Amino acid sequence: MATLSLKICIDTSQQVKTMQFEPGMMVFDACNFIRHKVQEANRGNPQEYGLFLADEDPKKGVWLDNARSLEYYLLRNGDILQYKSKMRILRVRMLDDAVKTLQVDDSHMVSQLMVVICSRIGITNHDEYSLIFELPEEKENMSTLKKQSTIARMERKKLEEMKKKLHTDDELSYSLSRHELVGSREDVAGAVCHRRRYSAVET
């Protein structure tokens, strides 16, 4: 079987090494192979490092899954993979508007991150929450808890009028729960909002 020639960019040193791999090699084994062959890559916790396939559009890059083979990603000779840390600092705005800074695995799906985020703040029903990007107007809006309290007191006939002024959770898209955070990164310096996906309105 022909070997696969890939250019491996070592994030810690910015060095690029051309290395030969078997197409059927698992990504996990490829990472170990890189650490064994390249001294600059043999640092830090191995579990916190992985292979990243970048794209011209920074929002479309993808982390290679350790449980899949290299050939799964249809890699070709000469393709560039980045060997780098999967850990990143994420600023999360909570329901009470407090901002918490957490270290998360950038390769995880957002739905997986919710388990980690919710467990760290004492929330057990993580499947009822997700993340959205913080928009400028979000900073000026009321928090979800305050809005839910307001909705509960209002008559149904006034609900539509209120929706024109506030972005309710029902109107927000939670498609991020099915994507990696890196594939959804629009503003790394900004914060994402921790929001409830489902809410009940008294009638």
DSSP states along 178-200: GSBSGGG-S-TTS-EEEEES---
Is residue 202 situated within a structural domain? no
> Does 181 score more than 80 pLDDT?
no
Condensed to tens digits (0 to 9), the pLDDT of residues 19-61 reads 999 999 999 999 999 999 999 898 889 999 999 998 887 777 8
- Does residue 7 contact residue 81 with C-beta atoms inside 8 Å? yes
Of 60, 85, 110, the last residue of a domain is: 85
17 and 70, same domain (yes or no): yes
> How far is the C-alpha of 183 from the C-alpha of 54, rounded, in Å?
10
Of 34, 59, 85, the last residue of a domain is: 85
What is the CATH classification number for the domain harbouring 111?
3.10.20.90
Mean pLDDT across the stretch 138-154? 49
The answer for 91, left when phi > 0, alpha when psi is -120 to 50, beta otherwise, is beta
Q: In 3-state terms, what secondary structure has residue 70?
A: helix
pTM of the model: 0.66
- DSSP character at residue 139: G
Specify the number of domains making up the chain. 2
Is residue 182 situated within a structural domain? yes
What domain range includes position 133? 87-196
